Amino acid sequence: MLIHSYLEKYARISPDKPCLIHGNRQLSYGELSAQSSRLACHLAVCINKGDAVLLKINDPLQQLLYFFGIIRAGGICIILEASASDSVCRQIIEQQHIACCITEDFILPGKKTAKLPSITPSSFFLGAFSSGSTGTPKLILRDHQSWTTAFPVQNRVFNLSRADTLYLCGSLSYTANLNACLHLLYTGGTVVLSAAPIPRSWVKEIRQYKVSAVFMVPANYKLLLKALHSPLGSITSAVSGGAKLEPSTAEELLTAFPQAVITEYYGASELGHISCHSAKELLKHPGSVGRAFPGASISIIDQTIWVESPYIAPAYKPKATVGDLGEMDKNGYLYIGGRKNGLINSGGIKIVPEEVEKILLQCPGIQTAGVGGIDDPIRGKKVCALLVRNHPGVTLETVLQHCRRRLQPQYIPQRISFVTEIPVTAAGKIDRVRLNNRLHHIFSKP
């Protein structure tokens, strides 16, 4: 099955049913199918099958219209955070061989249209960035079947159906959000995209639209729970991903959503869904991320988690790892012990310290940079940096301005301290253990 084929199906079955809601605007299945089809015919004039297309639009309804238009025209859609700087865009355009860039001021190529190409389940439709922070991270190409194969399984595991209305907050450039959105559209349900990054408005919209399902990263669940003053009995499905769900948060969710099947899953852009368990299982096995997702097979080789499944991106099949360390108990429960390359997981965003350090070292007057994460009650980890100056005129604002021009917002260090030295190993490399201990000592003070 193709990602967009169900749009045509539901446009025939229930053309007037709302499929997307954002603020006071909405699109029905009939409108989304017809409008994205027209866009595809126009876009086919300027892109060929297999071309990479960069999509950088702030409005999520327009974003999804263009997304479906691009993939129906045979393009590979790369969704970029709308707040990404021009320099980040230029780097991606140059390094990823972008054929077309669709931004707020994009103009369709006149009234011309072209015949749409033949697309198969093995055709690529999505370019997803993995663990990249500088705007030039690794690009993972996804084919239709690696996602659509998982959709029926997600229905069963997450307790979702055509009758559901799903609430999402955050950018669709985050693949877990995009996957949740496309999956619910596959079922024929309705997706409500948050109108504002304000927890109290989330509660209002959930009640207003009679939302029955929610997907969030743990950091956002914590914010939602703080804004929620009474249980939401309408919620029958709550899914958490992107970072480890703490037992205390799971307990609060069970109270806040008394009628819900609450599920935590562990996955990766390269590998898809890897493991899952219910909130009740989580409380019995608090350090675990569950057992293998149906259809996936997990093995531990040299303490590293390896996955074999139909949900893996084509370039990584049949078996792959993202470098997460872990172990499995005798009952098949998986426990993650960190990652070999020391990624910082901040609110579900995976950040490579070395890439942030590389950008910091390009700032005039900075001699050495060390980046790590410290515990944060909301986001899980907070990005912090220690810097050694070789020019006294370098200020905190100088560094931040440099970062804003070169890094996507979520990767800019939230805390920075100037120091005289950064701990290194005998080989002269940054000693990550000592660095993180020092970051904790400096930035965790009350």
pLDDT in tens, 310-324: 999 999 999 999 888
Q: What pLDDT is stored for residue 350 in this prediction?
A: 81
Q: To the nearest whole percent, how much of the chain has pLDDT over 70?
A: 96
Q: How confident is the model at residue 134 (pLDDT cuts 50, 70, 90)?
A: very low
Quick one: pLDDT at residue 302? Answer: 84
With a CB cutoff of 8 Å and minimum separation 6, the contacts of 147 are: 3, 126, 179, 182, 183, 272, 311
Query: In a 10 Å sphere around its CB, with 0-12 CB exposed, 13-18 middle and 19+ buried, how is residue 105 labelled?
Result: exposed
Choice among 31-45, 368-382, 419-433 with the minimum mean pLDDT:
419-433
Nearest to 298 by CA among 241, 287, 289, 158: 289
Per residue in 108-123, pLDDT tens?
887 789 999 999 999 9
Q: What CATH number should be reported for the domain whose range is 344-443?
A: 3.30.300.30
**Beta bridge partners of residue 104, listed in sequence order:** none
CB atoms within 10 A of CB 337: 12
Burial class (CB in 10 A: 0-12, 13-18, 19+), 388: middle
Helix axes 247-256, 218-227, angle to 10 degrees: 50
Does residue 217 have a pLDDT over 70?
yes
- As a whole number of angstroms, the distance between CA 410 and CA 88 comes to 13
The answer to whether the pTM exceeds 0.85 is no
DSSP letter for 105, please.
T
CB count within 10 Å of CB 107 equals 6
Classify domain 5-339 at the CATH class level.
Answer: alpha beta
Angle (CA) 84 90 94, round 5°:
135
Model confidence at 354, pLDDT cuts 50, 70, 90, reads confident
Cα–Cα distance for residue pair 141/154, rounded to 1 Å: 21
pLDDT of residue 387: 97
Residue with more model confidence, 22 or 324: 22
**Which of the two residues, 249 and 340, has the higher pLDDT score?**
249
**Is the pLDDT higher at 446 or at 83?**
83
Token pair listed for 120:
């198969």
> What does the CA dihedral 81, 189, 53, 73 come to, rounded to 10 degrees?
-170
- pLDDT confidence of residue 133: 39
Which of 126, 182, 119 minimizes the C-alpha distance to 155?
182
CA-atom Rg of the chain in angstroms: 22
The yes-or-no verdict on residue 339 having pLDDT over 90 is: no
* Domain limits, the chain: 5-339, 344-443
Q: Considering the chain, what is the average pLDDT of its residues?
A: 92
Closest CA to 269 of 233, 215, 234, 312: 312
* Tokens 């199906």 sit on residue: 9
401-433 pLDDT per residue, tens: 999 999 988 899 999 999 999 988 665 678 887
Residue position matching structure tokens 């991270």: 137
Is a pLDDT exceeding 90 seen at residue 52?
yes
Length of the chain equals: 446
pLDDT for res 135 = 40
| Residues 142-156: tens digit of each pLDDT | 999 999 999 999 999
